[in-house]
Amino acid sequence: MALTDDKIAQLTKKAAEIRRSTIESLIEAKSGHTAGSLGMADIFTYLYFHKLKHDPKNPSWSYRDRLVLSNGHICPGLYATLAHAGYFPVSELKTLRKFGSHLQGHPHREYLKGLETSSGPLGSGLSQTVGMALADRIDNGKSSGKQFYCLMSDGELNEGNTWEGAMLAGKERLQNITAIIDRNNIQIDGFTEDIMPLNPLVDKWRAWNWHVQEINGHDFRDIDRAIEEAQSVFDKPSVIIAYTIPSKGIPDFERKFEWHGKPPGTPEEIEIALKAVRTWGGRVKSPNDSDK
């Protein structure tokens, strides 16, 4: 399906709605992760409203693509996307992290339709995705047509399990896996390159026999081009390093690692957040954006 100008306008509007719903649910919960949830909203939107084969009315559809959220702490963004896609009512987002809610603080597969895995312990998602893709190959050969997406944070690349999965996927040439790394350069304790430097990140993935691309994670054309290229590579898995702005859409919070693991809490923070996301028109760039 071509990504037309009209489609980009629709996706831009939807991403703004998802950001609004995400921040409103975090404020209601008084708990949760702001930075990554907002930063990945454009990629969530692109996948669920343009690329993924999925059916909200039949979440267990056998021929659906699989999306694994490895960095489960950004589930407020995924939940908002699933709600807007029709998996459950948008009003239910107000129950985030509340006792008895389907919307746990980290995704619980048995609690919510549309989730492929339970996640929370970082670094597990890629290995789970590799296992799914290998099982699909055993069951169907190379012709099932399913795509397997793994969304990951850059901070969780500190976990060795990630690299075990990367080695196995490269060795098995699992060409229907596309990993997308949220390269926002922050983690809970600070900036990634201060805590545990990841660079040269491109070289590391290439060393494990992956096709590597770098993109602006807020540009729908860039996202689309990279996904199309990834799916045209037939001899190795693909990884897309998506440069994103943590807390994208709320300029006062953007690029600040302190927003990794907290919601707006004070009256002033809540006012800043709600004013920003409720008036934000879904700009591809905010005044603070880099040119990456």
Of residues 124 and 283, more confidence is placed in: 124
3-class DSSP string for 148-199: EEEEEECHHHHCHHHHHHHHHHHHHCCCCEEEEEEECCEECCEEHHHHCCCC
Fill in the amino acid letter for 146.
K
CB 242, CB 183: distance < 8 Å: yes
Q: Domains, the chain, ranges and CATH?
A: 5-279 (3.40.50.970)
Q: Is the pLDDT of residue 226 over 60?
A: yes
> HSE of 121 in the Cβ direction (CA atoms, 13 Å)?
7
Sheet-wide strand order for 211-216: 66-69, 148-153, 177-183, 238-243, 211-216
User: Is the pLDDT assigned to residue 220 strictly greater than 80?
Assistant: yes
**Residue 279 pLDDT greater than 80, yes or no:** no
- The stretches of the chain forming alpha helices (DSSP H) are 5-29, 35-39, 41-46, 75-85, 125-140, 160-172, 192-195, 201-207, 220-230, 267-279
Q: What are phi and psi for residue 21, nearest 5 degrees?
A: -65, -40
Residue 44 has pLDDT above 90, yes or no: yes
**Cα–Cα distances in angstroms (integers) from residue 101 to residues 3, 84, 94, 106, 255, in the given order:** 36, 18, 10, 12, 31
For 231-262, letters b (16+ CB in 10 Å) and e give: eeeeebbbbbbbbbbbbbbbbebbbebebbbb
Per-residue pLDDT tens over the stretch 85-102: 999 999 999 999 999 999
Q: Of 105-114, 190-199, 277-286, which range is least confident?
A: 277-286
- Give the pLDDT confidence of 108-139 residue by residue, as tens digits: 999 999 999 999 889 999 999 999 999 999 99
Half-sphere exposure (CA, 13 Å, Cβ side) for 172? 22
Contacts of 197 (CB under 8 A, 6+ apart): none
Contact 131, 175 (CB under 8 A): no
| C-alpha to C-alpha distance for 254 and 23, rounded to whole angstroms | 14
Give the integer Cα–Cα distance in Å for 131 and 185: 28
- pLDDT at res. 280: 67
> pLDDT tens-digit profile of 148-174?
999 999 999 999 999 999 999 999 999
Cβ-contact 23, 38 below 8 angstroms: yes
Cα-based torsion angle of the residue sequence 232, 234, 239, 242 in order, rounded to the nearest 10 degrees: 0
Cβ proximity of 249 and 277 under 8 Å: yes
pLDDT at 292: 36
What is the residue whose two structure tokens read 């990834």? Answer: 230
Model's pTM, two decimal places? Answer: 0.94
